[in-house]
């Protein structure tokens, strides 16, 4: 294969979800990724998941889901010898990614300026909760904290009067995807200019951007009117469950109401008219939706090219043929302990030379000796590093 990032070397000093997902995507596209962990305090997600035996083995599901296509090296970066190894690796790397508290890596002598001094064209990405600047820069946070901080929890639960966290760590994974895109952009910039780059990715920035038009509307201080929750894009009770209707634009609404025999509602052709008719539309839909099952509605709506879907559980979603057709969930090769475990590959496909899982997530320190030997350490030097607690 000739994937886009083959030949690129990535030094991955990340943990939990966002940072490891970023480097996972780079690895799926061919980059050679070395995951660096403290030998006595490894990535805590290694021990998180619903299968105790895998947790004990450091192969918890929270780790497996973004651990493939990497090699594992243990280094204690609080030791001088550990930092020396890291710098040797950085001198040969194309990308360094870290997601520790702002200022932590520069304090160790492993910040961007330190690495740039030995590798001028390095692409160095720091992924933190709040970024490198501002009064909250030094604060630590995880996905739920950022969801609370950004207003997402409050907005999600506004109708119920209590904050509600969406049922997935989408800020973590969105931040990882965002960082991977930023790194890819910086690598393209380097190819054209020969210059390295420092990238400052903040989970809070990503969270706010993902609120989309709501962010702009709430920030605007001029005169504005509140918009109703559009009846054509709401959930309704069908005969056997909930169905999300998505008749968003006028063409879709026209097709829907024409098929349902309501020419008066099919004639709506402007946003103000649509908003004014919201109560009427909602009343009509609440009356008609219970007349069919969700499956019948899905077939009906597909036929007239109007979005709509039954509200499914995650296990139900995984089981639908569409997911199998996309080949999103893949078994990891060559790891007997995880037989039967499937993880998501990349959320996109290439026509050729696309993302692929080549190797399973490594056990803690699995490649330490191998990587050190590649750096020129002989068996005696490696043993000394181990005796000193550096690896």
The tens digit of pLDDT for each residue in 85-103 reads 999 999 999 999 999 999 9
Asked if 156 and 278 sit in the same domain, the reply is no
CA distances from 194 to 9, 23, 111, 118, 364 (A): 16, 22, 20, 15, 35
168 domain-assigned: yes
Residue 50 lies in a domain: yes
Tokens for 318?
A: 């995984």
Q: Are 120 and 137 in the same domain?
A: yes
Q: Hey, how many other C-beta atoms are within 10 angstroms of the C-beta on 366?
A: 18
Residues 163 and 181 in one domain: yes
Residues 382 and 315 placed together within one structural domain of the fold: no
Among the candidates 319, 337, 369, a domain finishes at: 319
pLDDT for position 69? 98
pTM: 0.95
- Residue 218 included in any domain: no
Residue 101: inside a domain, yes or no?
yes
Integer Cα distance of 154 and 165 in angstroms: 8
Q: Within this chain, do residues 247 and 206 fall inside the same structural domain, yes or no?
A: no
Confidence (pLDDT) at 1: 66
Q: What pLDDT is attached to residue 272?
A: 87
Contact 141, 151 (CB under 8 A): no
Instruction: Please answer whether residues 247 and 254 qualify as being in contact, where contact means their C-beta atoms are separated by less than 8 angstroms.
Output: no
pLDDT attached to residue 160: 86
Range of the domain at 267: 231-319
Last-in-domain residue among 295, 319, 343? 319
Count of CA atoms in the C-beta half-sphere (13 A) of 341 = 25
Question: Which contacts (CB < 8 Å, 24+ apart) does range 47-55 have?
Answer: 53/337, 54/337, 54/338
pLDDT at 225: 85
Name the one residue in this structure whose structure tokens are 């390295």: 196
Residue 221 counted as domain residue:
no
Residues 105 and 235 grouped into a single domain: no
Distance CA 297, CA 292 (A): 6
Kindly report the CATH number assigned to the domain that includes residue 207.
3.40.50.10540
Residues 87, 202: one domain?
yes
Q: Read off the tokens for 138.
A: 């030094």
C-beta of residue 119 within 8 angstroms of C-beta of residue 182:
no
- Report pLDDT for 289: 97
Run of H or E residues at 22: helix 18-28
Number of separate domains in the chain: 2
Per-residue pLDDT at 226: 83
Is residue 219 in a domain? Answer: no
For residue 388, what are the contacts with CB-CB under 8 A and spacing of at least 6?
79, 81
Which of the listed residues 302, 319, 336 is the one where a domain comes to its end?
319
pLDDT tens string 113-170: 999 999 999 999 999 999 999 999 999 999 999 999 999 999 999 888 999 999 999 9
Name the token pair of 59: 């192969």
Same domain? For 206 and 353 the reply is yes
How many other CB atoms are found less than 10 A from the CB of residue 326? 11
- Residues 268-287 have pLDDT tens digits of 988 888 888 999 999 999 99
- Residue 268: CATH number of its domain: 3.30.1540.10
What is the SS3 assignment for 385?
helix
In this structure, are 55 and 153 located in the same domain? Answer: yes
Percent helix, strand and coil across the chain, each rounded to 5? 45, 10, 40
Which residues of the chain register pLDDT less than 50? none
Q: Are residues 340 and 312 in the same domain?
A: no
Give CA–CA dist 388/72, Å, rounded.
Answer: 19
Nearest Cα residue to 340 out of 348, 330, 350, 349? 330
331 and 315 share one domain: no
Same domain, 350 and 269: no
Active-site amino acid positions: 172
């Amino acid at each position: 294969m000739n994937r886009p990032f083959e030949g690129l070397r990535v030094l991955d000093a990340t943990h939990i979800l966002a940072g490891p997902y970023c480097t996972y995507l780079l690895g799926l596209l061919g980059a050679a990724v070395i995951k660096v962990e403290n030998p006595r305090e490894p990535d805590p997600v290694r021990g998180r998941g619903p299968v105790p035996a895998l947790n004990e083995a450091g192969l918890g599901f929270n780790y497996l889901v973004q651990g493939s296509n990497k090699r594992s090296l243990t280094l204690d970066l609080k030791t001088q010898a550990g930092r020396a190894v890291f710098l040797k690796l950085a001198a040969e790397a194309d990308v360094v990614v870290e997601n520790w508290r702002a200022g932590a890596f520069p304090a160790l002598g492993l910040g961007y300026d330190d690495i740039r001094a030995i590798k001028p064209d390095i692409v160095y990405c720091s992924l933190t909760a709040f970024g490198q600047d501002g009064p909250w820069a030094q604060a630590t946070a995880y996905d739920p904290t950022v969801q609370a901080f950004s207003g997402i929890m409050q907005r999600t639960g506004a109708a119920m009067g209590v904050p509600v966290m969406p049922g997935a760590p989408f800020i973590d994974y969105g931040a990882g995807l965002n960082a991977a895109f930023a790194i890819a952009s910086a690598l393209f910039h380097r190819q054209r200019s020969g210059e390295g780059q420092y990238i400052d990715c903040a989970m809070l920035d990503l969270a706010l951007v993902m609120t989309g038009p709501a962010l702009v509307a709430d920030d605007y201080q001029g005169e504005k009117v509140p918009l109703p929750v559009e009846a054509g894009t709401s959930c309704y009770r069908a005969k056997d469950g909930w169905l999300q209707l998505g008749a968003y634009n006028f063409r879709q609404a026209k097709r829907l109401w024409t098929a349902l025999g309501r020419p008066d509602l099919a004639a709506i052709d402007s946003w103000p008219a649509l908003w004014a008719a919201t109560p009427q539309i909602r009343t009509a839909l609440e009356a008609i939706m219970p007349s069919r099952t969700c499956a019948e509605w899905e077939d009906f709506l597909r036929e007239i090219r109007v979005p709509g879907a039954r509200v499914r559980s995650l296990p139900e979603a995984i089981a639908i043929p569409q997911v199998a057709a996309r080949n999103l969930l893949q078994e990891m090769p060559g790891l007997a302990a995880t037989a039967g475990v499937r993880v998501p590959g990349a959320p996109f496909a290439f026509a050729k030379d696309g993302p692929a899982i080549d190797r399973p997530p490594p056990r803690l320190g699995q490649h330490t000796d191998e990587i050190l030997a590649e750096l020129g350490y002989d068996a005696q030097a490696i043993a000394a590093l181990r005796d000193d607690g550096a690896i």
